Amino acid sequence: MALDPIIKGLLDAVDAMNAPPMSEGTPEEAREHFRSLALGLRQPHWIVPVASVEDTTFPGAAQERAARIYRPEESTSVGTTPTVLFFHGGGHVIGDLETHDNQARTICRDTGSVVVSVDYRLAPEDPWPAAPDDCFASCQWVFDNITAFGGDARAVGVAGDSAGGNLAAVTAVRARDAGLTLRAQLLIYPVVDYSIEGPYPSRIELAEGYFLTLDDMAWFGEQYAGHGSPIDHPHLSPIHADFAGLPPAIVVAAEYDPLRDEAEAYAAALTAAGVSVELIRAPGMIHGFFDLGGISPAAAALVKQCTESFASLLH
């Protein structure tokens, strides 16, 4: 279908800013630009209410890392509330707890879960495998301290958008291999294959003009995994993982997203391996729509569909 007209207007406004491509600047400049854009779009009345928000730390793979705990307004009794680990997007280079605050709040509210948003290490200062190592450490931390969160070790899920979707998928693989049983995974337009020449036509068809560009993707990949990392390693490109025994998944693919085809390929690979999968196609949407419900009713409806499906797996 046609690109959502409200989102098209947003893209036109961003284009009018004439900001230089990320590949022409530094990671610090890219982080500041993305943070300004994400927080500038967020109006006070769009902020999703939750019962409480608590900043804390957890033992990361190399050092203490920050995390933020969101508790739902209507929490059930101890032992029956799910816990969701949320990993923010941003190409493993940009993004933080603040840029993805409202996404974490939305998952908390809509699923009735305690959400733990994780501040993992970023590239290029800390390239692969720093981020997945921190995310897996956070998973172990939650299981080891489950009474401090939702209280039910049988109802722990992972979620993430874009690079965070990659980290959620990788964490699901690593948790299975470590004997930790996750209940479900929500993979929002995830990047699952860091190969340059993957069989994904959407990368070319949607290379420019829809927020995330092919040049952006190449730049992110170079910062994160461009220094001899094994591209086909399942902890980098989970499309190469063994899928047997992975938790049920909600996989989200946006129509106007260069990552669309690899998200759909990942859903198909999981299904072929016997994993229960719901593929949610988001017509008229771009990469990043999960945080655009405040301006686009169509985006808000699709976000609700995603979170309701995830909730049905968690409870």
Region 80-85 average pLDDT: 94
Q: What count of Cα atoms within 13 Å lies in the side-chain half-sphere of residue 270?
A: 26
One of 133, 161, 257, 261 is an active-site residue; which one? Answer: 257
Q: Kindly give, in sequence order, each residue whose CB lies less than 8 Å from that of residue 265, ignoring residues fewer than 6 positions away.
A: 192, 193, 199, 200, 239
Q: Does the pLDDT value for residue 78 go beyond 80?
A: no
**To which residue do tokens 């299975």 refer?**
176
**Local confidence band at 210 (pLDDT 50, 70, 90 cut-offs):** very high
Cβ atoms of 239 and 268 closer than 8 Å: no
**Local confidence band at 19 (pLDDT 50, 70, 90 cut-offs):** confident
Percent of the chain with pLDDT over 70: 98
Span 239-268, pLDDT tens digits: 999 999 999 999 999 999 999 999 999 999
Q: Is 92 marked active-site?
A: no
Query: Would you state the pLDDT for residue 196?
Result: 83
Query: Would you state the pLDDT for residue 187?
Result: 99
Which amino acid is residue 171, in one-letter code? T
Strand partners, 256: 286
Query: Would you state the pLDDT for residue 1?
Result: 85
One of 113, 117, 162, 237 is an active-site residue; which one? Answer: 162
CA 165/CA 155 separation, integer angstroms: 19
Handedness of CA 45, 289, 76, 72 (dihedral sign): negative
Q: Select the more confidently predicted residue: 295 or 80.
A: 295
Question: Mean pLDDT across the chain, nearest whole number?
Answer: 96
One of 88, 100, 235, 287 is an active-site residue; which one? Answer: 287
Query: Would you state the pLDDT for residue 18?
Result: 87
Q: Is 88 marked active-site?
A: no
pTM over 0.95: yes
41 class by beta-carbon count within 10 Å (0-12 exposed, 13-18 middle, 19+ buried): middle
Region 89-114 average pLDDT: 98
Query: Would you state the pLDDT for residue 77?
Result: 46
Residues counted in the chain:
315
Q: Is 162 marked active-site?
A: yes
Span 260-296, pLDDT tens digits: 999 999 999 999 999 999 999 999 999 999 999 999 9
Q: Does the pLDDT value for residue 47 go beyond 50?
A: yes
User: What phi and psi, each to the nearest 5 degrees, are found at residue 254?
Assistant: -90, 140
Q: Does the pLDDT value for residue 75 go beyond 60?
A: no
Structure tokens at 291: 């945080």
Query: Would you state the pLDDT for residue 243?
Result: 98
Region 195-200 average pLDDT: 88
CA 220/CA 232 separation, integer angstroms: 17
